[in-house]
A and B are shown apart, each in its own frame.
Chain A
Amino acid sequence: MIQIVDKPIETDPILRAVDSGEAGAIVTFSGTVRNNARGKQVTYLFYEAYPELAGTELEKVRKEALRRWPLVNVAIVHRIGRMEIGDCSVFIAVSSPHREAAFEACRFVIDTLKVTVPIWKKEFYEDGEVWIEGYCGEISQTSP
């Protein structure tokens, strides 16, 4: 299961999607909106995806996890749009016969999608907003 949604993520259907009689473990990761970043108070976040390519890249990460570990199933759901503090922005569920593979694969999925899947977040503060993108310092992008 791969989904990009613009509404709150419902986790029950994701867990059902990876559950199976063959699975002895389901490991999940929930990425949530934190109230601070770079020493500033964050008021809310906005996530934007390049949807066509993000879908393809999420599927690649899922397939690579299934290839590397003896898993039963992998589900990845990413939310886009405005999110408040505490909201879930990404939910991953990995099922496997034994727990070690599910733990390792779940970590691989979140670490990999963070660098390969074209989804960006914009942090909003009391006094401004900044796109969080993949380069270090050269380009300052504080918006007015």
Chain B
Amino acid sequence: MYNGTVKVKVRFFASLKDAVGTGEMDVNIAEDNATARTVFDRLQEQFPALKRYEPIVLVAVNHEYARWETPLTPDAEVVFFPPVSGGLR
């Protein structure tokens, strides 16, 4: 857990990238004990189009599947992306 402001790099893929309008941005979180959830909540305020993705979005931190409560270290890379389709067999 880190106290104070953390700067993280955020990336988006597929339809989330379209919803936000960019694939990558830096986000400063001035909040103690920031998690992946903190970042997504902040982004939803800025990009309301993200709201409908909340029930299904997946998150990776530093290129590993992560959970909402995964704590963020300074300069972490946080990636939000949709589930993969599975396809028809």
Contacts and interface: CB of A to CB of B under 8 A. Distances in A.
Contacts of B65: 53
B79 A121 contact: no
Contact of A120 (B14, B53, B56, B79): B14
Contacts of B25: none
A18 interface: no
Nearest to B23: A48
A141 B15 contact: yes
Given A120-B84, A133-B15, A143-B18, A53 B64 contact: yes
Nearest to A114: B87
A125 interface: no
A118 B86 CA distance: 10
Interface in B7-54: 11, 13-15, 18, 52-53
Question: Which label, helix, strand, loop or mixed, suits the secondary structure of the A interface?
Answer: mixed
Interface string A99-132: 0000000000001001111111110000000011
A41 interface: no
Q: Interface residue tally of chain B, by bracket?
A: 20 to 34
Contacts of B87: 114
Contact of B82 (A52, A53, A116, A135): A135
A123 B79 CA distance: 23
B56 A118 contact: no
A32 interface: no
B51 to A, nearest CB: 11
Contact of A115 (B14, B82, B84): B84
Nearest to B56: A135
B81 A50 contact: yes
A52 B13 CA distance: 12
B86 A114 contact: yes
B63 A133 contact: no
Given A114-B87, A118-B81, A139 B56 contact: yes
Given A48-B14, A50-B13, A131 B82 contact: yes
Contact of B84 (A134, A139, A141): A134
B84 A53 contact: no
A56 interface: yes
B58 to A, nearest CB: 8
